[in-house]
Amino acid sequence: MAARLTRSASKAAQTATKAAAASPVASKRPRPTSSADAATEPPTTPKRSRTAAEGKAKAPETPYVPPTPNTQKVLEKEAHEAEEVGEKEGAVLLHPKPTFDFEDARKHLTSVDARWGKVMASLQCKPFEGEQTDPFNPFRSLVSSILGQQVSWLAARSIQHKFCRLFFSHLPEKAPPPGTPGITPFPTPHQVVDLPDRTASLRSAGLSGRKVEYIVELAERFVDGRLDAKKLWSMNDDELMKTLVECRGIGVWTVHMFLIFSAKRGDVLPVGDLGIQKNLCKWYSHDPSIAPSIHPRKLAPPSPTKLGSTSVGTPKKGKKKDEGEYASAALPEGDNEGEGHGLGKLAALGGAEVEQEQVIDLDEPAKEEKEETEVDGGEFVFPETSNNLTPAVLRSRLNGKKLKGNIYLTPLEMEELTAAWAPYRSVACWYLWSLSDGTGDP
């Protein structure tokens, strides 16, 4: 009976409280609150006002402040010293001998397809043409590739800048805009291995835990002699591939880029690169008597937003991604089809840097200017393939009829289509990357 009375009294008290709160008189009186009530009571600040206040409190993004002339001299000195130390430690080869003569490549490619003459006269092949004075720094090239995996090329630049700043405090706090002149020093493998509080420091630069493991292991391989710049330079392409894919975080596509842009090998065909596949289809499905023209919209200053893809996707469901490799055919995904990586991503990795005003448009042969774009040469012969490819078949693949695996060409088809370009397929591939529309879609 007592329990019933207690519950009845409690229910009556609750009813009275609600009635009092609803009355006009009670609404004017301050409601007493306990400490527990105060903790759970909704805040009195409106949501919109709170958001605005938070926006005002947020610190503005730090702008890029270029180094002073004196600081820049210090950075250049540190860069040269790091390379000299790297050479003594076996991580750098300061004066590598050219692996082939670019003029031989020009003559050969032009002899098998006269269109290459106009293309090569219109655009300088930076990795191979002219005096080659860049040192062979495999540690820097491979670390840059690892840092660029699974992130946009702009994010890769920022992370690499923070990474270098761990070792060279004179670097500006913020990474310079793309295209900014200047020399950036890069740490040696010993500096990475000896970095105090190594894991925490590298994570603070924006590296994931897995990338920290990859880079530390790579540095250790150079420190203990398993990897050596002179030995790598002297290896043939197959030996380099076998040696580098043994390193965690380095896969086939990364090695292909390394062979072309770092080791300067002349006859590399990256069969997994969708940009190369797509432009091969375009190259062989166009009228071979007309060379690609330079489109007027390309006559603009370089723009960091128009160099290539700025987004990288994740592996699709059901598709297992190789360790350290990019999604979709071992490439960074730039769009839904895994494309959009020809210029931007490679530029971030020190690869296909192309002046924006010198990009050739493979989609626009400019029929109205046919007389100016016609090329002189012998009769063009479409490459013979084991499955009888034709220009019509290539056009159908460009129009949506791709092969299984969302690819344009099989490795065998690519080998057969480019057989006549050997032993200078690296040069041809660099130009194929350059034959993009500048928006990341080859």
**Tens digit of each residue's pLDDT (9 = 90 or more) over 305-350:** 333 332 333 333 443 333 333 323 333 333 322 233 344 444 444 4
- Per this entry, what is the length of the chain? 442
408 and 366 within one domain? yes
Decide which of 261, 286, 310 is a domain's last residue: 261
Q: Are 184 and 143 in contact (CB under 8 A)?
A: no
Q: Are 317 and 239 in contact (CB under 8 A)?
A: no
Please report which confidence band the pLDDT of residue 119 belongs to, taking 50, 70 and 90 as the band edges: confident
Decide which of 203, 235, 261 is a domain's last residue: 261
- pLDDT tens digits along 201-240: 999 999 999 999 999 999 999 999 999 999 999 999 999 9
283 and 230 within one domain? no
421 and 284 within one domain? yes
Residue 324 pLDDT: 37
**pLDDT of 378 above 90:** no
Compute and round to an integer the Cα radius of gyration of the chain.
30
Among residues 137, 142, 146, which one has the least CA distance to residue 79?
137
Distance CA 253, CA 276 (A): 12
Both tokens assigned to 429: 């591939």
Residue 437 pLDDT: 47
Both tokens assigned to 377: 């040469």
% of the chain beyond a pLDDT of 90? 52
Domain that includes residue 193, residue range: 69-96+133-261
398 and 289 within one domain? yes
Residue 42 falls inside a structural domain: no
Residue 57 falls inside a structural domain: no
Specify the CATH number for the domain of residue 181.
1.10.340.30
- Which DSSP helix (H) or strand (E) runs through 202? helix 198-204
181 and 287 within one domain? no
**pLDDT of 154 above 90:** no
Mean pLDDT of 110-128: 88
- pLDDT tens digits along 182-208: 888 999 999 999 999 999 999 999 999
Residue 15 pLDDT: 56
Q: Are 222 and 228 in contact (CB under 8 A)?
A: yes
Residue 114 falls inside a structural domain: no
201 and 325 within one domain? no
Query: Poorest-confidence range of 151-160, 167-176, 275-284, 298-307?
Result: 298-307
Residue 3 falls inside a structural domain: no
**Per the structure, how many domains does the chain have?**
2
250 and 291 within one domain? no
Task: State pTM to two decimals.
Answer: 0.72
**pLDDT of 124 above 70:** yes
Residue 121 pLDDT: 85
∠ CA 354-418-112, rounded to 5°: 90
8 or 235, which is more confident? 235
Decide which of 214, 231, 261 is a domain's last residue: 261
